[in-house]
Amino acid sequence: MTRMLIIGPPGSGKGTQAARISERLGVVAISTGDIFRDNVRRETPLGVEAKTFMDAGDFVPDSVTNSMVRDRLAAGDVQEGFLLDGYPRTAAQVAELDDILRENDLALDVVLQLTADDEELVKRLLGRAKLDGRSDDNERVIRHRLGLYQDQTAPVVSRYDERGIVTRVDGLGSIDEVTDRVMTALKVAS
């Protein structure tokens, strides 16, 4: 059983690697970004609210995100393990996740941090924006999101570093190269 987080700056390949890790380890991948985008596409009340923050490059408020994650971690398909992608992003969300896990007598096994150079990430995200037509990926928003990551999310890694459960992997290179590095690092970490 594996309970893990994948953390990294926007464009570092978290979603791609989460899907591959999920398949290889047989655990469900839970992406807050996918949940937000699905709600935006369906124009649910959450989606309408989330879209205003996403289009500005800001994070969706903790209250909305925490409730969504709490509900998702209560689902039956996470009993054999899970991989959270995009959560927690703030110290307050770390505390909320700790509470959720403690209430269910669970703990995280590993926090996988993908690392990458900011300028390479900007190029990668601008290319993705052209391919996917994503309104939340223009250069101004991308740089804003990278700044938010450094200010808010990077300190989250420090919390998990204190617990000795962070494994860092270079997120640059081909998808297969990164996956190979990730799987090797996870074997070492377990």
* Segment 33-82, tens digit of pLDDT: 777 777 788 897 878 888 888 888 887 888 878 877 887 888 888 888 99
Q: Has 134 been labeled as part of a binding site?
A: yes
**pTM, 2 dp:** 0.83
* Segment 100-159, tens digit of pLDDT: 999 988 899 999 999 999 999 999 999 888 888 776 678 998 999 899 888 888 889 999
Question: How far from chain centre, in Å, is Cα 159?
Answer: 16
Tokens of 97: 């996740």
Whose CA is closest to 7, among 26, 21, 25?
21
Query: DSSP string of 15-31?
Result: HHHHHHHHHHHT-EEEE
Positions marked active-site: 14, 89, 128, 134, 145
Domains of the chain: 2-189 (3.40.50.300)
* Segment 12-25, tens digit of pLDDT: 999 899 999 999 99
Instruction: Collect all residues with Cβ–Cβ distance below 8 Å to 73 and sequence separation of at least 6.
Output: 30, 82, 100, 101, 104
Distance in angstroms (rounded) separating the CA atoms of residues 149 and 151: 6
Q: Has 63 been labeled as part of a binding site?
A: no
Whole-number Cα distances in Å, 26 to 21, 22, 83, 111, 131: 8, 5, 10, 17, 30
Q: Has 15 been labeled as part of a binding site?
A: yes
Ramachandran category for residue 11: left, alpha or beta (phi over 0 → left; psi -120 to 50 → alpha): left
Whole-number Cα distances in Å, 1 to 94, 122, 151, 170, 186: 21, 35, 32, 25, 13
